[in-house]
Every structure is written in structure tokens, then in C-alpha cells.
Amino acid sequence: MKNKMKAGLLLAAILILSACGKMPPREVGINNLDNARIPSAVDVSDPVEASAVEETETEEDLSYEEETEEEIETESEEIETETEETIDGSLEPAVVPETSTEKSTEKSTEKSTEKSTEKSTEKSTENKVDTSAFAGRWQDNVSPQTIVDITTTGTNAYHALITRADSETLTYRWEFDGLYDQNTDRLNYTVCTKKEIVKASDGSETTAIDYEDGSGYMQILSTSGSMFWTDNKENVGAGREFKKL
């Protein structure tokens, strides 16, 4: 009776497993029921080992995700570090957006610089004189018998001849070469010769040299355009104002 029950249970198990596709059905004889072993007939996977495999795979997946997150965090930290180094100027200058305050400061600075430049240019223009203005004939506004003839001899170089007729028989002449100084706006001279010319009744002239070491300067005022003469030797140019003819 017991053998029949064992055979029935074994047959039922084999049929169930065959239906599930786990193993092909095989014929079981009654004679070998005692020798039949369920573990050899049934190929059942160990659920404990499957669970262990699944847990191992899950742990690997989690470790991969953790490594991925760590890599992302590391890359973000490296990017932040590079950005900070760039802003500090250790590698390359970082492009920092200008604020409205910086822009307004730059604009005000540019405007003030332009204004100061314009003012300095205007002042320099007012003080400076065109050097070509010296060349020509000038006449004393106080005593018209005094005439100054200036000619250009080179770059900022001039020759001056000053003639003053005191009478029909007596004439004085001052003659010198001078150089224009752009720092002082003056036509300076250091070697001036003064001559005294006497005309006789027969028309002949006698020339005498009074001195040859005169010094001084000519200067044109840009406001009035008049030229003034400063003579260091005998102060003969005091009070004279020359106008260009």
C-alpha cells in the first residue's frame, strides 16, 4: 500500500514538472519505485542560491550607481575649482560680467578724461603761437618810424633787422639771428649788433658799431596778435608794441 502511494505521488510530481517544462516526462515502472529518487528526477533550482545571485547583482548595480554619482560630484567639483582658478587669474582671465556701477564709472571717467584733454588742448592752443607768424614786416604802434623785418632762415630760425630813423641824418639798426622756443613762445637771440648810421649832406653814409653782444627776445601775444620786444642790453624795446603790416 505504501509503495502504491509513493508511486502515485512521484508520478504526480513528474507530470506537474513535465507540464511546466522543467523536465521531460519519463516512464516509471512499478518495480523501480523504491529506487527512484525525487532529487534526481526533479531539477529544481536552489532558491537560496538564486536569492544570493540576485542580491549580488543588486549590490553591484547599487555600487555602480554610487560610483557614477561620485564621478558626477567629482567632475562638478573640478569644474568649480577651474572656475575659481580662472576668476583668480591663475590660469586665464575669467570673463566677469560688468555691473551697471562699473559701466557708469567707466563712462564718467571717459567723459572727464575727454573734457580734461579738450581743455588742455584749448589752453595749449591759446598759449602757443604759429611760428610762421613771426615772418614779415612789423611797425611800432607808438613810433611808426621803427620798423622790424623778420625772415625765416630755417626750422624755427629767423633773422631780424630793426630800423629806427631818429632823423633824416641819423638811423639806428639792430640785427640778430634768433631761434623760436616752443616752451616759452619766444624768439630768443643772444648775439645782437647795433649800428649807428650817419648820413652826410652829400648823401654819403658813415656806419659805426655801438655793440655786438646784445640779447633779448621777441614775443607775440595770441590774444592781441601784437609783437613785443625785450632788449636786455639797453632796454630799448620797453613800451613798444609792434603790429604786423
Give me the pLDDT at residue 142, please.
Answer: 87
Q: Residue 75 and residue 129: Cα distance in Å, rounded?
A: 70
Give me the pLDDT at residue 125, please.
Answer: 41
56: exposed, middle or buried (C-beta count within 10 Å: 0-12, 13-18, 19+)?
Answer: exposed
In a domain, 166, yes or no: yes
Range of the structural domain that residue 197 is part of:
131-244
In a domain, 150, yes or no: yes
In a domain, 112, yes or no: no
Q: Residue 194 and residue 162: Cα distance in Å, rounded?
A: 9
Tell whether 136 and 240 lie within a shared domain.
Answer: yes
- Give the number of domains in the chain: 2
In a domain, 65, yes or no: no
Q: Grid coordinates 623760436 are at which residue?
A: 180
In a domain, 67, yes or no: no
Give me the pLDDT at residue 196, please.
Answer: 97
Q: Residue 142 and residue 1: Cα distance in Å, rounded?
A: 166
Give me the pLDDT at residue 9, please.
Answer: 80
Give me the pLDDT at residue 7, please.
Answer: 72
Reported in sequence order, the residue ranges of the chain that DSSP labels E, i.e. its strands, are 136-140, 146-154, 157-165, 170-181, 186-199, 205-220, 227-231, 242-244
Give me the pLDDT at residue 11, please.
Answer: 78
Q: Grid coordinates 567632475 are at which residue?
A: 75
In a domain, 62, yes or no: no
The secondary structure of residue 245, as a DSSP letter, is -
Which H or E run includes 70? helix 47-88
In a domain, 105, yes or no: no
User: What is this structure's pTM?
Assistant: 0.49
Give me the pLDDT at residue 101, please.
Answer: 58
Residue 70 neighbours by CB distance under 10 Å: 10
pLDDT tens for the chain, 245 residues long, are 556 676 778 777 777 776 665 454 454 444 444 444 444 444 444 444 445 545 555 555 555 555 555 665 656 566 555 545 544 544 444 454 555 556 666 666 666 556 555 554 444 444 455 668 899 999 999 889 999 999 999 999 999 999 999 999 999 999 999 999 999 999 999 999 999 999 999 989 999 999 999 999 999 998 889 999 999 999 999 989 999 99
Determine the residue type at 225.
G
Is the separation of the CB atoms in 22 and 5 below 8 Å? Answer: no
